[in-house]
Structure 1
Amino acid sequence: MTYINTPKTFGLIGAAGYIAPRHINAIKENNGQLCAALDRFDSVGILDRYFPEADFFTEPERFDRYLYKRQRNGQALNYVSICSPNYLHDAHIRMALRNGSDAICEKPLVLNPWNVDALQQLEKDTNQRIYNILQLRLHPAIIALRDKINQAPADQVFDIDLTYITSRGKWYYESWKGDLSKSGGITTNIGIHFFDMLQWIFGQAEQSTVHVLEADKAAGFLQLKKARVRWFLSLDFEDIPQAAKDKGLRTYRSITVGNKEIEFSGGFTDLHTQTYQHILNGQGYGLDDAKACIELGHQIRNSQPKGLTGDFHPFLKY
């Protein structure tokens, strides 16, 4: 019998957050049942649209007790989806596994590489699984690029420019996302998916140089097994190219391989739904898949910027 005929049960931590609606929709689209949700804020009216009967908690202690009682009664939730602030992911993953549930966690899975090692031991101790949302691996344009690279000569090294600008207002810096200790800063909070994607396609990082590392932007150079990558991340609207501004855009994504642009601005709307489907089919991405990008993000945010020396991204000002 497939999961389609046997609905799985879910809990959700971080129900009032920006990314939670994609998880809630993914649960619904995959015939799951959201049984309970947790958030310190109670602006969670979206639950009425999808799962109005779900229990709701504003205190983690009560949510933990709910999970514990279900487990004691032989009704442990199949999964707990985690959409909480980055620095709480490790604790919330542990809450899920201790109470007999697998965890499905947003990026970044955790902030530090040693947290991954500890969670691997917890998986063994509890016989539960931890999955990370690495949805760019399911994007059709990214899959096509990976297939193309895999068909190239083994010794070919590609020149890549990665540019991602997603402008944010003043609220961002007052929230937990603007706190380096809680979010990991721009390179982890914003860049983690791209660092995963690049290593998934071109192989693990062999060398990293950071040119700029600020609260609202970062840039550097990566030597991967099959690529030389100049990367630029920014939250500053002024960094968006004028042509994109003229179209009213506040986000700009670009990957060039050689001089060829890889278009992947669209195609994001159902990637969480596909990710959940993969997990339910036993094909989700786990700790081993997530570790390389966590290591790289940690290394970059703890690096000393070198300034505009060497091979730096063309968006950097001279």
Structure 2
Amino acid sequence: MEKKKVAIIGGGQVAETKHISNYQDFDDIEIVAVLCRREASACAFAERNGIARAYTDLSDLLAVEKPDMVSVCTPNKFHLKHVTEALKSGSHVLCEKPPGISSQEAKAMHELAESRGLVLAYNFQHRVSEAALTLKEKVQEGMLGDVYYAKLSALRRSGVPGWGNFINKELQGGGPLIDIGIHMLDSAFFILGFPEVKKVTAKMFQKIGPFKEEGSFGSWNPDDYEVEDALFGFIELANGGLIQVDTSFALHMKQAKKLNIELCGDKAGATLYPLEIYTDDKGELVTLLEQESSDDPERTAIHSFVRKCAGSTSEVIATGEEGYKVQQLVELLYKSAEQGETIYL
């Protein structure tokens, strides 16, 4: 049986630690090539991971290798170019989050994939965790009743990445919101069925990144810090519900980090991590559901993408259309914070 061919675009940490091993779980898949900007980096990556060929030009890679699937693991600014070229060559694409720098880019990639009949998925792995899939099911069943408030947290006390391009606004498009907050935005809207948005209000701060003292808060260079430390926002839904978004790289808070979704309905409330659904009975907390999870959502997301490309109709992936909707939310939150006003849709 002829193996399906995969190419890796971008030889960074995520590609090496997540994508490679999860593709290698399939006997009928071969990772045939990797692309990096520098030849030395591409060759070293290929040698470390047992990949036959290394490239520095994407057009050459696509023309020679003709991959069935491509993983795009490059800085955010280059997602549009790399996804577009791969789709035009006839490859299915799994792109790391976020979809791009703007919602216009995300929309263009979605429409191209649709027109070519190809799978475009984004690696929002939290939505395919056991906890998220169970919580979505229980919300749909009405266990929480009318969910009218949600709080999304993607907070780090001292978590500015000291590597990569995460503090470069041109390459990244923003800071904690577009890096870690977008995961909770995607998961929450997935769980709630992508409700219609009415208006967005946000405020962001840059109080620590450019001003940190030597040795405090981490290893980044404050002279290069261009993104927000924290952003806090509210998304008002057309159905009257409210979603609060809290996200930070650096914030004087008690916990070292917090990554969670909290839902409040008129029948019950819930948290995603750990998954708990609870209610109140005469002042006493009553747990309706409690679930411990030991799954690997990153593995699930990549495996689901592979099976979707093979024709499965039951796989949960973050589609190009959903990626566009999530990118639009990020864009609206930034726009509100930059303009200092509520944005109405």
| TM-score (ref. length: structure 2) | 0.72
The answer (yes or no) to whether the contact 2:72–2:82 under 8 Å persists in 1 is yes
Answer yes or no: is 1:262 the counterpart of 2:263. Answer: no
Compared CA separation, residues 6 and 136, structure 1 to 2 (3 A): farther
1:7 aligns with 2:8: no
**Secondary structure in 2 matching 1:263:** coil
Q: Counterpart of 2:322?
A: 289
State the 1:157 CA deviation: 3.1
Q: CA deviation at 1:293?
A: 0.5
Counterpart Cα distance in 1 of 2:270 and 2:120: 37
Q: Which amino acid aligns with 1:181?
A: E
Give the structure 2 partner of residue 299 of structure 1: 332
Amino acid at match of 1:7: K
The one-letter amino acid of 2:37's match is R
Gap change, CA 1:256 and 1:169, over 3 Å in 2: closer
Q: CA RMSD in A?
A: 3.0
Q: What is the distance in 1 between the residues matched to 2:249 and 2:129?
A: 23
Structure 2 equivalent of residue 247 of structure 1: none
- Contact 1:82-1:105 within 8 A present in 2 as well: yes
Is the alpha carbon distance of 1:170 and 1:230 closer, same or farther for their aligned partners in structure 2, counting shifts above 3 Å?
Answer: closer
Work out whether 1:178 is the aligned partner of 2:167.
yes
Q: Secondary structure at the match of 2:12?
A: coil
Contact 1:97 1:123 in 2 (8 A): yes
1:3-37 Cα distance to aligned partner (Å, 9 max, x none) = xx763210001112345420111111133211000
* 2:46 is the alignment partner of 1:35: no
Identity of aligned residues (%): 20
What amino acid is aligned across from residue 54 of structure 2 in structure 1? F
Contact 1:157 1:226 in 2 (8 A): no
- Unaligned stretches of 5+ in structure 1? 71-75, 245-249, 310-318
Are the structure 2 counterparts of residues 35 and 306 from structure 1 closer, same or farther at C-alpha, using a change threshold of 3 Å?
closer
CA distance in 1, matches of 2:115, 2:141: 40
> Retained in 2: the 8 A contact 1:87–1:110?
yes
Could you say which residue in structure 2 is the equivalent of 1:271?
A: 297
AA aligned opposite 1:256: E
Q: Which amino acid aligns with 1:216?
A: D
Report the equivalent of 1:16.
Answer: 12
Cα displacement string for residues 76-112 of structure 1 (whole angstroms, at most 9, x for unaligned residues): 2111100000110000012212322111101111222
Any idea what SS the aligned residue of 1:281 has? Answer: helix
**Aligned residue identity for 1:136:** H
Aligned to 1:252: 258
Q: Map 1:70-219; keep pairs closer than 5 Å.
A: 70=65, 76-123=66-113, 126-152=116-142, 156-166=146-156, 167-169=158-160, 171=162, 175-185=164-174, 186-202=176-192, 203-204=194-195, 205-214=197-206, 215-219=228-232
Change (3 A) 1:87 1:110: same
Kindly indicate whether the alpha-carbon contact (under 8 Å) linking 2:6 and 2:31 is maintained by their aligned counterparts in 1.
yes
Q: Deviations over 1:253-274 (max 9, x none)?
A: 2333346543249968732321
Structure (1 or 2) with the greater strand fraction: 2
State the secondary structure of the residue aligned to 1:171: coil
SS in 2 for 1:208: strand
1:256 and 1:125 map into 2 onto residues whose CA distance is 37
2:129–2:295 Cα contact (<8 Å) kept: no
Quick one: distance in 2 between partners of 1:38 and 1:208?
39
* 1:148-167 Cα distance to aligned partner (Å, 9 max, x none): 22122897133322222233
Distance in structure 2 (CA, Å) of the matches to 1:90 and 1:26: 24
Q: Which runs of 5+ in 2 are unaligned?
A: 207-227, 276-291, 309-314
The equivalent of 1:238 in structure 2 is 252
Residues 184 and 301 of structure 1 are in contact (CA less than 8 Å); yes or no, is this contact kept in structure 2?
no
Q: Aligned residue for 1:66?
A: 61
Aligned length: 285
SS at match of 1:257: strand
Q: State the partner residue of 1:56.
A: 54
Question: Which residue identity is paired with 2:61?
Answer: Y
Q: Per-residue deviation at 1:291?
A: 1.6
